[in-house]
């Protein structure tokens, strides 16, 4: 299921979404591929850059809005989702993207994810998952494997990783996918599909850190390791099977759509509009209310 | 006849004492009086002791007042728990429930002999008249209406309205209870006359409201289209009010998963181009701090209301205090100036909230409104608000020419640069918490950081000249007072008492607390030898803040008290007399 985003008479190509800022990322970082896939997905959709709001938190990957020509907002650590929701609520016509790393989304900002899911705002959340804190030079992240040795865990991690896929599926996310920059075509299509999905869409991208990441998981290994869910005969309407497959997060690199709800709940912004319309009727002018004599609720409630 | 009456009532949770206070203030509003009703509870959600204090007057009421004129005691144990909140003095008339078994000559008040003590069998009267103990509070209303001539005609209408849904039998029973109280008062006159003068003829309509509702209404008036927040005492009613009303005016509201998400969503809405607000109390302000810093650096308008309560930490959620001033001013890392405003009364919160939006939009900055539990939750009868005097300010938008080559953070003489929003073609830019250049590109240049700090700070400078946000008195007095927030209403009355007593004195009430308006303070200090800062915090936070930014008179005193310890006009007057050597 998909919705058509309103088309502009102008035609856009990937480079129309690319800004002149030079990324701070290390050569070989997976995030280059992610931003390229986003340019392509946006070109395929064709919304003009000024109708797009791209929100991020803090971390290497959170620099991403600045590398696009959209309205960008590189906010504070962990709060991209609530800020993105405020934007979508204030102006539902915008195409809203939120992005960040695994630390931003599943550690400091982890508490916001379930609530975004249960509201189902029409926005796409892209996590560049590299299992490490790269910007601060290589500490344990919430998705680092148990036993992983890093600069903050020299004797090895004593914790199990968060499983981002299972996390969002458990809270009822309606669109859940995982991609890799090594499969550019697949990734761009997946992001496009996520943006077109009517509601909250989550894309986990295994975007390896060339500097502090595990050598076994670098970009060059991805093509060999990835297993396309489509080739496995997975039906994305099957949520329980999706959860079963998602359990392999740490072992098997599945790519594609884990789950696409065939009957997604209404989007938050559609409910907001409906409520605004239902209540819009004749409203007493505020000036009048401020003249009114006392009533039980203070005299300021409009009829 | 008196013009002003202070009534304090206390009982157990189920006694309906607060409900009686609400009935009284509703009736007083209908008759054209002015009044303030404050409620005070133990920390229980239901049950436990509860009390209210009603000050009703023919003139505008500035504060809940000090010593009670009338004390209504449904049960001594509960009454005494409120201590200094319900002080009884030699002029007080004490009315209490006979059933408590206390002799009128032996009421449990240390060192005080009230003007009159009336033991009334309120419970028996309720049972006899209404057949229900619950009607006891209407017996109380009858006694008060009878003895003090207080809203005698309007109370029955309130009773009928209040119980209409419960059927005629219930309405009738409660009317009977009220009548029983009236009759008792008529048969047992008070030894002293304390009847309240009628409200001024042609007083016109009155608005009965509280600070939280009026703050929400002001936000709507100012054009607020988004509210993000989280339930917290004593600020929640702002969200509840807007939750009922904002949709009708094309806005939306998010009850967020936490305080941080509430303010973050509001910052997002502001980035998207609409006027946005959040509201909280102390603990929530602490949590919102980082996102407020983001709004400062990204130069996004935002109004954050902090309804102060006793702190730190959980502190005393249902009690007023003015101890969040330091937090409002200083709780940000880095060099930032964030305007802080404080209303002095329920009525005043309307204008202050509107002004907060205006300043936020004009200067592209978060603004903190320091309300407090007293203003937020007390019910007040005010004159209707004339909105024609308010001007609304919109943020500076880029012109078509500026959008040709848009530079979001362009250095300008005022420090204010045009602000675009998503959807505006050509206005695309990167907003960020990270330091940036004029176009929004991230930078680590020390030179650029210094220039941007300068831009963000200097744009607030004109605020320090906002004389309209200060209230002053006699220009050449040698003794001065400074007070802010709800306590300013107490100080204002003390000033009037002092002047009536022949003292020459002046008072400065800053409604803009930050940035500190040094020149306005200097002008105020020019004639002064002595100055007293009156406020409700243990440290005397404004007293210290002023000294940080400007020089002060040789004698610069502080009258500061921790929250929930009322400061009364009489106490302030005593301090003034000491200073004036009288």
The alpha carbon dihedral of B466, B472, B476, B479 has a sign of negative
Average pLDDT, chain B: 95
Contact B200, B58 (CB under 8 A): yes
Q: What pLDDT shows up at residue B384?
A: 86
Task: Tell me, yes or no, if A291 comes closer than 8 A to chain B by beta carbon.
Answer: yes
Reduced to 3 states (helix: H, G, I; strand: E, B; else coil), residue B312 is: coil
Determine which helix (DSSP H) or strand (DSSP E) holds B454, and give its type and residue range. Answer: helix B446-458
For residue B385, the chain A residues in CB contact (below 8 A) are 290-291
Global pTM value: 0.95
Q: Which residue in B217, B254, B421 is closest to A290 by CB distance?
A: B217
Q: Quick check: B381 and A294 CB within 8 A?
A: yes
Report d(CA B371, CA B353) in Å as an integer: 10
Instruction: Give buried/exposed letters for A277-297 (b at 16+ CB in 10 A, else e).
Output: eebeeebeebeebbbbbbeee
The per-residue pLDDT for B166 is 93
Count Cα neighbours of B135 within 13 Å in the Cβ-side half-sphere.
26
> What residue spans of B303-405 are helical by DSSP H?
325-330, 346-363, 373-377, 400-404
State the smallest CA–CA distance between residue B20 and chain A in angstroms.
13
Give the list of residues 6+ apart from residue B106 with CB closer than 8 angstroms, or none.
none
Q: Is the pLDDT of residue B244 over 70?
A: yes
Q: What is the pLDDT of residues B37-55, one digit of tens each?
A: 999 887 666 668 999 999 9
Instruction: Spell out which residues of chain A touch residue B229, defining contact as CB-CB under 8 Å.
Output: none
How far lies A136's CA from each of A65, A212, A253, in Å? 20, 10, 26
Q: Would you state the pLDDT for residue A289?
A: 62
pLDDT at B131 > cutoff 80: yes
Are B418 and B396 in contact by the 8 Å Cβ rule? The answer is: yes
Task: Please list every residue in chain B whose beta carbon sits closer than 8 Å to the beta carbon of residue A115.
Answer: 256-257, 261
What backbone torsions phi and psi does residue B120 show, to the nearest 5 degrees? -125, 135
CA distance B489 to chain A (A): 21
> Is the Cβ pair B268, A272 closer than 8 Å?
no
Q: Do B441 and A21 touch (CB under 8 A)?
A: yes
A277 touches chain B (CB under 8 A): no
Closest alpha carbon to A96 in A107, A108, A87, A109 = A87
Q: What is the pLDDT of residue A299?
A: 44
Q: In a mutagenesis test of the B interface, which of A65, A89, A109 is the best target, namely the one with the most B β-carbons within 10 Å?
A: A89
Name residues whose C-beta falls within 8 Å of residue A107's C-beta, 6 or more positions apart in sequence.
A78, A141, A142, A162
**CATH class belonging to B4-187:** alpha beta
Q: Which of B361, B364, B289 is nearest to B329 (CA)?
A: B289
Contact call for B430 and A275, based on CB within 8 A: no
Q: Which ranges of A107-233 does DSSP label H, i.e. alpha helix?
A: 113-119, 164-170, 184-196, 219-225
* B276/B302 Cα distance (integer angstroms): 6
Report the residue from A66, A76, A291 with minimal CB separation from B384: A291
Average pLDDT over residues B325-342: 96
| CB < 8 Å to A108, chain B | none
CATH of domain B208-389: 3.40.50.970
Could you give the angle at which helices A31-45 and A184-196 cross, rounded to 10 degrees? 50
Q: Which of A68, A73, A100, A283 to mutate to test the interface with B (most CBs of B within 10 A)?
A: A73
- 3-state DSSP of B180-191: HHHHHHHHCCCC
Q: Name the phi and psi angles at B315, rounded to 5.
A: 50, -125
> Which residues from chain A sit within 8 angstroms of residue B440, using beta carbons?
66, 72
Task: Please report the ipTM that was assigned to this predicted complex.
Answer: 0.94
Residue A298 is predicted with a pLDDT of 39
CB contact under 8 A, A90 and B274: yes
**Per-residue pLDDT, B43:** 64
> Do residues B87 and B53 touch, judged by C-beta distance below 8 A?
no
* Residue numbers of A between 13 and 52 with CB closer than 8 Å to B: 21, 48-52
pLDDT value of residue A2: 44
- Of the partner residues A85, A286, A295, the one whose CB lies closest to the CB of residue B265: A85
Pairing of strands B34-41, A201-206: unpaired
Rounded to the nearest angstrom, the minimum Cα separation between A154 and chain B is: 31
| CA B103 centroid distance within chain | 40
Q: Is A1 on the interface with B (CB under 8 A)?
A: no
What torsion do the CA atoms of A163, A165, A170, A173 make, to the nearest 10 degrees? 150
Distance separating alpha carbons of residues A113 and A76, to the nearest angstrom:
16
Determine the Cα angle at B50 with ends B46 and B56, to 5°: 135
Nearest to B247 among A49, A58, A275 (CB): A275
Of A5-14, B476-485, B519-528, where does mean pLDDT reach its minimum? A5-14
Q: What is the rounded distance in angstroms from the CA atom of residue A198 to the CA atom of residue B223?
A: 30
C-beta of residue A241 within 8 angstroms of C-beta of residue A235: yes
Distance CA B88, CA B577 (A): 23
Q: What is the pLDDT along chain A (303 residues), one digit of tens a residue?
A: 344 455 556 899 999 999 999 999 999 999 999 999 999 999 999 999 999 999 999 999 999 999 999 999 999 999 999 999 999 999 999 999 999 999 999 999 999 999 999 999 999 999 999 999 999 999 999 999 999 999 999 999 999 999 999 999 999 999 999 999 999 999 999 999 999 999 999 999 999 999 999 999 999 999 999 999 999 999 999 999 999 999 999 999 999 999 999 999 999 999 999 999 999 877 666 766 676 544 433 344 333
Contact A279 B267 (CB under 8 A): no
Confidence of residue B381 (pLDDT cuts 50, 70, 90): very high
Task: Give first-to-last CA distance, chain B, whole Å.
Answer: 30
- B527 phi and psi angles, rounded to 5 deg: -90, -5
Which residues on A lie below 8 Å from B290 (Cβ)? 76
- Confidence band, pLDDT 50/70/90 cuts, at residue B110: confident
For residue B244, give the nearest of A51, A79, A301 by CB distance: A301
Domain ranges of chain A: 14-265, 267-303
Domain ranges of chain B: 4-187, 208-389, 396-459, 467-580
Measured in angstroms, the CA of A130 and the nearest CA of chain B are apart by 22
pLDDT at A292 (0 to 100): 53
Inter-chain contacts counted by CB atoms under 8 A, chains A and B = 212
Cβ atoms within 10 A of the Cβ of B181, count? Answer: 29
Which range has highest mean pLDDT (A262-266, B155-159, B566-570)?
A262-266
CATH topology identical between B208-389 and B467-580: yes
Confidence class for position B62, pLDDT limits 50, 70, 90 = very high
A75 SS3 class: coil
Output the pLDDT for position A10. 83
Q: Any idea which residue has 């002047």 for tokens?
A: B499
Contact A70, A17 (CB under 8 A): yes
CATH of domain B467-580: 3.40.50.920
Region B470-483: what's the mean pLDDT? 91
Across the interface, of B261, B424, B428, the residue whose CB is closest to A70 is: B428
Pick from A69, A79, A281: which is nearest to B291 by CB?
A79
What average pLDDT does this structure show over B121-146? 96
CB contact under 8 A, B294 and A93: no
- Examine the pLDDT at B261 and tell me if it is beyond 80: yes
CA atoms within 13 A on the CB side of B523: 13
Phi, psi of A255 (to 5 degrees): -125, 155
Residues paired with residue B382 on neighbouring β-strands, in sequence order: B207
Looking at domain A14-265, which of 1.10.510.10, 1.20.950.20, 3.40.50.970, 3.40.47.10 is its CATH number? 3.40.50.970
Q: What is the mean pLDDT of residues B526-542?
A: 97
User: Residues of B with CB below 8 A from A289's CB?
Assistant: 217
The pLDDT of residue B324: 98
Q: What is the pLDDT of residue A285?
A: 63
Phi, psi torsion values for B107, nearest 5 degrees: -65, 145
């Amino acid at each position: 299921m998909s919705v058509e985003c309103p088309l502009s008479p102008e035609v856009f190509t990937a480079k129309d979404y690319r800004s002149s800022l030079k990324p701070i990322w290390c050569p070989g970082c997976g995030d280059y591929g992610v931003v390229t896939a986003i340019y392509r997905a946006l070109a395929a959709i064709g919304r003009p850059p000024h109708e797009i709001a791209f929100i991020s938190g803090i971390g290497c990957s959170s620099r991403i809005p600045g590398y696009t020509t959209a309205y960008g907002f590189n906010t504070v650590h962990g709060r991209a989702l609530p800020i993105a929701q405020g934007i979508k609520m204030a102006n539902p016509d915008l195409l809203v993207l939120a992005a960040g790393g695994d630390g931003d989304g599943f550690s400091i900002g982890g508490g916001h994810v379930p609530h975004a899911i249960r509201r189902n705002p029409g926005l796409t959340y892209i996590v560049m998952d590299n299992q490490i804190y790269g910007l601060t030079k290589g500490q344990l992240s919430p998705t680092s494997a148990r036993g992983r040795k890093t600069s903050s865990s020299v004797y090895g991690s004593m914790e199990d990783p968060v499983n981002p896929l299972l996390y969002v599926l458990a809270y009822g996310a309606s669109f859940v996918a995982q991609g890799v920059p090594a499969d550019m075509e697949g990734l761009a299509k997946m992001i496009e599909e996520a943006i077109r999905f009517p509601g909250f869409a989550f894309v986990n991208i295994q975007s390896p850190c060339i500097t502090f990441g595990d050598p076994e998981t670098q970009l060059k290994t991805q093509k060999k390791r990835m297993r396309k869910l489509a080739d496995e005969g997975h039906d994305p309407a099957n949520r329980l099977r999706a959860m079963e497959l998602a359990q392999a997060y740490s072992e098997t690199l599945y790519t594609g759509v884990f789950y696409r709800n065939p009957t997604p709940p209404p989007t938050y912004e559609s409910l907001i509009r409906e409520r605004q319309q239902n209540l819009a009727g004749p409203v007493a002018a505020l000036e009048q209310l401020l003249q009114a004599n006392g009533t039980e609720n203070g005299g300021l409630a409009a009829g | 006849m008196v013009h002003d009456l202070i009534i304090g009532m206390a009982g157990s949770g189920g006694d309906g004492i607060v409900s009686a206070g609400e009935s009284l203030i509703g009736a007083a509003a209908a008759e054209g009086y002015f009044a303030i009703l404050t409620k005070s509870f133990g920390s229980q959600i239901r049950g436990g002791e509860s009390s209210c204090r009603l000050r009703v007057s023919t003139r505008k009421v500035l504060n809940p007042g000090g010593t009670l004129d009338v004390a209504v005691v449904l049960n001594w144990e509960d009454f005494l728990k409120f201590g200094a909140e319900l002080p009884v003095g030699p002029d007080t008339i004490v009315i209490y429930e006979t059933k408590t078994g206390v002799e009128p000559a032996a009421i449990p008040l240390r060192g005080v002999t009230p003007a009159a003590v009336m033991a009334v069998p309120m419970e028996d009267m309720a049972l006899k008249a209404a057949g229900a103990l619950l009607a006891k509070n209407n017996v109380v209303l009858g006694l008060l209406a009878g003895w003090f001539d207080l809203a005698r005609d309007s109370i029955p209408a309130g009773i009928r309205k209040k119980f209409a849904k419960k059927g005629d039998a219930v309405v009738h029973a409660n009317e009977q209870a009220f009548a029983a109280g009236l009759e008792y008062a008529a048969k047992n006159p008070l030894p002293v006359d304390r009847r309240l003068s009628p409200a001024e003829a042609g007083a016109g309509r009155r608005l009965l409201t509280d600070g939280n509702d009026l703050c929400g209404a002001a936000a709507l008036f100012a054009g607020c289209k988004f509210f993000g927040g989280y339930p917290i005492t004593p600020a929640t009613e702002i969200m509840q009010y807007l939750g009922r009303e904002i949709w009708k005016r094309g806005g939306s509201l998010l009850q967020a998963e936490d305080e941080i998400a509430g303010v973050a969503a509001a910052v997002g809405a502001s980035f998207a181009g609409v006027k946005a607000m959040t509201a909280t109390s102390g603990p929530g302000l602490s949590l919102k701090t980082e996102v407020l810093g983001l709004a400062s650096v990204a130069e996004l308008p935002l109004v954050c209301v902090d309804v102060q309560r006793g702190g730190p930490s959980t502190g005393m959620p249902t009690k007023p205090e003015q101890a969040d001033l330091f937090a409002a001013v200083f709780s940000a890392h880095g060099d930032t100036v964030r305007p802080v405003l404080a209303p002095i009364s329920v009525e005043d919160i309307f204008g202050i909230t509107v002004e907060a939006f205006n300043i936020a939009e004009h200067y592209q900055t978060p603004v903190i409104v320091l309300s407090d539990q007293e203003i937020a939750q007390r019910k007040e009868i005010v004159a209707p608000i004339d909105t024609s005097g308010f001007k609304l300010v919109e943020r500076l938008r880029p012109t078509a020419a500026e959008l040709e080559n848009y530079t979001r953070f362009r250095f300008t003489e005022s420090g204010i640069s045009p602000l675009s929003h998503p959807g505006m073609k050509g206005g695309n830019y990167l907003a960020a918490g990270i330091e940036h250049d004029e176009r929004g590109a991230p930078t680590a240049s020390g030179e650029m950081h210094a220039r941007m700090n300068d831009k963000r700070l200097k744009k607030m400078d004109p605020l320090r000249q906002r004389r309209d946000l200060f209230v002053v008195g006699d220009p050449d007095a040698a003794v001065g007072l400074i007070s802010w927030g709800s306590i300013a209403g107490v100080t204002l009355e003390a000033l009037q008492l002092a002047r009536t007593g022949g003292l020459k004195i002046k008072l400065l009430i800053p409604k803009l607390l930050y940035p500190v308006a040094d020149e306005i303070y200097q002008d105020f200090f020019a004639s002064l030898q002595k100055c007293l800062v009156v406020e409700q915090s243990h440290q005397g936070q404004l007293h210290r803040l002023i000294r940080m930014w400007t020089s002060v008179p040789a004698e610069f005193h502080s009258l500061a008290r921790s929250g929930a310890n009322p400061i009364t006009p009489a106490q302030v007057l005593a301090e003034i007399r000491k200073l004036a050597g009288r």
